[in-house]
């Protein structure tokens, strides 16, 4: 949620900030703004809407300052507007801040500051930070920021500039990512010289590949000549530098019409990369999962905690963990997990799944589980993210940067990672033999080629999308793993096409949902060859008899399904355990095609942001 970028160096800050904000726009696009230090003080320019609106407005200014901060917002406190857009300034205009996260005690702080004469101009929680820094500033911006954060309750990633310290940016964080880096701008290099701060590494990849992910409470002081680091007490401290080897074109569309389509097509690569090096000497190995075989064998309960798309990946994992390893597995919506006092013992393993690694509800659940004695392992896509740091071990999905707000390749990476985890538990408990694990691993690897086959011909999916474009609602159904796939398919359709959709286990049709069906109502069914195939076909017959338009995801070679469906989308034959990978891909494409037919922005759907860092 929300994107932060800052630069101090020798180049015009305006261009650097706009370029960085454009790359961070997936994190929020309700409004955008910059604060740039000029000779006569700090100039703030904000606009409601996307970064392009801000860039157009800045074209009418002649800001030449080389130090500034910028922000692209996803609204939490206060509606999207120029008044509520960041950066926010202090009363005297000498302090400007950008903030990602949520200040839980902002109302109390606002009242206290108002009694001391501070006047507020926005509805946001973030504005109190600017006023706090103003109150605490006595010639040292680092100390002012440090003292101010002592009063904050909640999560924050903050970058601050001050008129009295013209080339300085101070940044800090708690539970919200902040990354800093320095570029020497060596001769022959396209990189500009100076220091950079951002909420995501992608904003500074042009300039440097060596970055520092700030830990909670750490403070960075950026100047054109380098970066100094301080701990929570304001003492100089050592930090760990991380080298990033992503190619910059991972953040570009690479010839595809939108990021969503590009990322859907990257899924075969994600599968292969996630599996690389996992089969060693004929045995499955996940070194990051820091439990001995004996400890794995003692595990008697698994919780998967997640939100949204990641939750659906967890539902798939439940089927596999219980079927292969015979361990009870519960999948919990992270926002509910810590409120129901779940049963946790030292032999409980909690698996936290989060694309961004900064989902607030998931982080809160991790902390609760660790306090209660569980081993916690993260599955995330973001190096050095809070979920990664606060877990006992972490498996990074090999999706690399995902720009489109609706998750596609990250979901596939999560499913593959969780499938490996289920196999690892089964191997440790002796429920699967070495030969069985090898066979499953080979078949899992084959899904990369099978997804490529699906992507090579999408005409049937496009045709099916036409049956949905004018609908008012849609129903997704499936059984077993197919029901979990249905939930994800319905979510994708809702997220990017704004077409209302619901998903049910197909056996629930007669318990209420069938009342929705009338003439032309789209019913999308996961009808692959599985132990429950005949029962799904029976549900299709019930739906068609009531006038539904049936779209079936079916196994290649199944000619009988044409008797029950108006549109058939074939996928390669796979083991039922791996059908979630292949069946999900056409549903992603279906959602995208429907959204385009309805004139929607598939990369940046309304009201959504890529990561949710507030509860």
- φ, ψ of residue 393 to 5 degrees: the values are -155, 165
Residue 61 corresponds to which tokens in the numbers above? 């200014």
Q: Give the other-Cβ count within 10 Å of 323's Cβ.
A: 16
Residue 372 corresponds to which tokens in the numbers above? 């209660």
Residues 6+ apart with CB under 8 A from 489: 476, 501, 503, 524, 526, 584, 587, 590, 591
Q: Is 610 part of the annotated catalytic residue set?
A: yes
End-to-end CA distance of the chain, in Å? 11
d(CA 320, CA 328) in angstroms, rounded, equals: 11
Q: Is 67 part of the annotated catalytic residue set?
A: no
Dihedral of alpha carbons 307, 2, 195, 132, sign: negative
DSSP letters, 281-343, are TTEE--TTS---HHHHHH--EEEEEE-HHHHHHHHHHHHHIIIII---EEEEEHHHHTTS---
Q: Nearest-CA neighbor of 393 among 421, 428, 422, 427?
A: 421
CA distances from 1 to 115, 156, 292 (A): 31, 11, 37
Q: What angle do CA 102, 105, 110 make, to 5 degrees?
A: 105
The answer to whether the CB of 282 falls within 8 A of the CB of 435 is no
The answer to whether the CB of 17 falls within 8 A of the CB of 5 is yes
Q: Give the other-Cβ count within 10 Å of 453's Cβ.
A: 15
Compute CA 283 distance to the chain's CA centroid, rounded to the nearest angstrom.
31
The answer to whether the CB of 464 falls within 8 A of the CB of 567 is yes
Rg of the chain, C-alpha, whole Å: 25
Q: Which residues are catalytic?
A: 2, 610
């Amino acid at each position: 949620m929300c994107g932060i970028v800052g630069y101090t160096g020798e180049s015009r800050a305006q261009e650097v900030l706009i370029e960085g904000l454009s790359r961070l726009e997936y994190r929020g696009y309700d409004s955008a703004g910059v604060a740039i230090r000029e000779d006569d003080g700090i100039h703030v320019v904000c606009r409601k809407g996307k970064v392009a609106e801000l860039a157009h407005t800045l074209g009418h200014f002649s800001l030449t300052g080389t130090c500034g901060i910028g922000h692209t917002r996803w609204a939490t406190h206060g509606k999207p507007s120029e008044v509520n857009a960041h950066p926010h300034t202090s009363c005297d205009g000498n302090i400007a801040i950008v903030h990602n996260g949520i200040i839980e005690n902002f109302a109390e702080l606002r009242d206290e500051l108002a009694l001391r004469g501070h006047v507020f101009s926005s509805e946001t929680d973030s504005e109190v930070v600017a006023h706090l820094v103003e109150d605490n500033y006595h010639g040292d911006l680092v100390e002012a920021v440090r003292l101010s954060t002592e009063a904050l309750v909640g999560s924050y990633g903050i970058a601050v500039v001050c008129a009295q310290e013209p080339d300085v940016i101070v940044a800090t964080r708690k539970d919200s990512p902040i990354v800093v880096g320095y570029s020497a701008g060596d001769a022959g290099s396209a990189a500009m010289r100076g220091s950079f701060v951002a909420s995501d590494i992608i904003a500074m990849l042009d300039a440097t590949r060596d970055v520092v992910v700030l830990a909670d409470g750490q403070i960075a002081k950026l100047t054109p000549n380098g970066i100094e680091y301080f701990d929570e007490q304001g003492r100089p401290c050592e930090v760990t530098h991380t080298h990033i080897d992503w190619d910059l074109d991972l953040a570009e569309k690479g010839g595809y019409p939108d990021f969503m389509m590009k990322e859907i097509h990257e899924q075969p690569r994600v599968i292969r990369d996630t599996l690389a090096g996992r089969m060693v000497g004929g045995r499955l190995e996940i070194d990051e999962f820091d439990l001995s075989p004996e400890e794995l064998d003692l595990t008697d309960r698994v919780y998967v905690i997640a939100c949204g798309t990641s939750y659906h990946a967890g539902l798939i994992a439940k089927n596999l963990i219980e079927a292969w390893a015979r361990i009870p597995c519960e999948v919990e919506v992270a926002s509910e997990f810590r409120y129901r006092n779940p049963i946790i013992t030292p032999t409980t393993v909690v698996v936290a799944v989060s694309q961004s690694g900064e989902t607030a509800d998931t982080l809160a659940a991790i902390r609760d589980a660790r306090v209660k004695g569980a081993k916690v392992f993260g599955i995330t896509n973001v190096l050095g993210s809070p979920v990664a740091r606060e877990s006992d071990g972490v498996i990074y999905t090999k999706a690399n940067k995902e720009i489109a707000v609706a998750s596609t390749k990250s979901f596939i990476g999560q499913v593959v990672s969780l499938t490996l985890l289920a196999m690892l538990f089964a191997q440790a408990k002796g429920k699967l033999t070495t030969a069985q694990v090898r066979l499953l691993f080979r078949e899992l690897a084959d899904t990369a080629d099978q997804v490529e086959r699906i992507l090579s011909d999408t005409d049937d999916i496009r045709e099916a999308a036409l049956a949905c474009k004018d609908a008012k609602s849609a129903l997704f159904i499936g059984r077993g793993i197919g029901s979990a796939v249905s939930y994800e398919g319905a979510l994708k359709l809702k997220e990017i096409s704004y077409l209302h959709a619901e998903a049910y286990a197909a056996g629930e049709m007669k318990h209420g949902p069938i009342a929705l069906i009338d003439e032309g109502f789209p019913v999308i069914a996961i009808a692959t060859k599985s132990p429950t195939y005949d029962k799904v076909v029976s549900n299709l017959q019930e739906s068609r008899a009531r006038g539904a338009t049936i779209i079936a995801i079916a196994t290649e070679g199944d000619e009988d399904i044409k008797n029950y469906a108006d549109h058939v989308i074939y996928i390669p034959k796979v083991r039922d355990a791996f059908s979630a990978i292949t069946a999900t891909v056409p549903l992603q494409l279906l959602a995208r095609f429907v959204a385009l037919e309805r004139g929607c922005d598939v990369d940046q759907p309304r009201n959504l942001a890529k990561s949710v860092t507030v509860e």
